Amino acid sequence: MGVLLGVLAVLVVLAVLTVLLGVVALRVPAGPTAFWPLRGFLRSLALILALLVLLLGLGLLALWLGLGLILGLLTLLSLPVLVWVLVLT
């Protein structure tokens, strides 16, 4: 039970961080300014974090509903692979 609460805490922190990054990315001015490349970077980072939150949530839900330890662990273990693929693209 403690592991599930820990994963839930990480999920909440990542969700809040994703929302904050999205808000900051929207506030960065678009166009040829000094901060223009930062906007794309923050939007990409917010997308990656949103996908991480989604996968963590699905893994936690699978573990909580008893859909199987294997399904939940596979979902949680797919996070590094997802980050690796997103970084390469």
The model carries a pTM of 0.54
* Cβ-proximal residues to 31 (8 Å cutoff; 6+ apart), any chain: none
How open is the CA angle 85-53-19, to the nearest 5 degrees? 110
Burial 58-78 (b: 16+ CB within 10 A, else e): bbbebbeeeeeeebbeebbee
List pLDDT tens digits, range 55-82. 777 767 776 777 666 666 666 666 666 6
Pull the structure tokens for residue 66.
Answer: 């008893």
- pLDDT of residue 9 exceeding 70, the answer is yes
